[in-house]
Amino acid sequence: MFGTSGIRGRVGEDVTADLALAVGRALAVDADRVVVGRDPRESGQFLVDAVVAGLRESGTDVVRLGLASTPTIARAVAWQDADAGVSVTASHNPPEDNGLKLWQPSGQAFDAALRETMTGRIRSGAFDPAPWDRVGDTACRDARARHVSALVDAVDSPRELPVVLDVGNGAGGLTADALLELGCDVETLNAQPDGAFPGRPSEPTAETCATLCAVVRDSDAELGIAHDGDADRMLAVDGEGNWVGGDLLLALFAREAASDGDRVAAPVDTSLAVDDAVAEVGASVTRTKVGDVYVAERASEPDVAFGGEPSGAWIWPEETLCPDGPMAAVELVELVAERGPLADLVGEIERYPIRRTSVEVEAKVAVMERVEADVRERYDEVNDLDGVRVDLGDAWFLVRASGTQPLVRVTAEARDEARADEVFEEARGLVEAARS
């Protein structure tokens, strides 16, 4: 039921009002107050209503945030003295999908134990409705201004830079508010919230953000920023209009946040360039499963200074354990203002050719079982922390099932282009053979 990013799937099939009602009832078992918000998807309106109904029916008070970014909702759990939070969102998924992601007061997503407890409650269908005169209260609040204030406070001083912000028709408009308050000259793209994502697909990639790259290249902007639908992700474009890969951003953020003896949490599909970058400041990388929930779990440990994923999820534990795209935006602006052009900064990072793709499959569990059996027969150095990761000495590859979509992800990296291509095709061939 729960994947790496909560419950997510096709509306009307995997995600229904009945399911949202059950989630509300299950949360209410041990929660007196819950914060609820949503991204711009039209289906989010009735899913929020269903969650709220389940909570109030069971005697739990609800704070409704309306349309809000996921990091705003996660932060608001503590701000509203609540016991949990619910983001009704499918994040970077297409508009026909939606989902529910659950948050703890620390800003951390529900961990494996909490997800298992919720699953058991939902499947049992057992709940205790409150007496008619003890149903939960509901209140509407706007946490956006407080989030903006937190972002501005995180930066040492005003940063006057020209920036292009591609909101992606999502919930990340507060980034513009924060940047304007910091003194930036902000041009926005796709700023009108629209859950059909008419401007571009919700997931920010080099391909989907081609317009952002062109606008930055043809203007005097010093960088471009892109969010996904719920703004838990942030990716960037340098002042020359070049897309900056997530591994490079991870290396930059991690090197800035970490110091001697610190660890940086990153998933198993992260480039070795990140290891090299943090080693320069005496820090090291600790690998996790892919998924911001796993990165956040590791980031909660006292010696972890930063956590991130190449997909664009960035966690500063001292601020919150939720991936915060707007926070990443202001951090990047500060970094460029202090250190110089983003193109120069990423040019300092040692990089290696890394290849990534996703293969659509009908039965990802069965495909992965066949891939793992094949891999164990062929290779000696196999790590099964998340999918199967094979160390070839001069290269590595990872094959793993997506936690949110019917896809198998393939990643490969080597020290030179030809070897990276060779290993990548080798890994992709394993998946193609397993699905045929």
Containing 31, the helix (H) or strand (E) segment is none
Query: If we measure between CA atoms, which residue out of 203, 204, 224, 200 comes closest to residue 214?
Result: 224
Q: Based on the residue annotation, tell me whether 91 is a catalytic residue of this protein.
A: yes
Tell me the CA distances in angstroms from 218 to 177, 209, 222, 223, 337, one per residue in order. Answer: 24, 14, 11, 12, 20
Strand partners, 38: 67, 88
Residue 206, SS3? Answer: coil
- Transcribe 121-160 into DSSP letters: HHHH----PPPTTSPPPEEE---HHHHHHHHHHTSSS---
Q: How far apart are CA 62 and CA 60, in angstroms?
A: 6
Active-site entry in 58, 91, 271, 402: 91
Q: φ and ψ at 377, to 5 degrees?
A: -75, -35
Nearest to 92 by CA among 5, 179, 173, 163: 5
Strands of 382-383's sheet in order across: 354-360, 407-414, 395-401, 388-391, 382-383
Active-site residues: which are they? 91
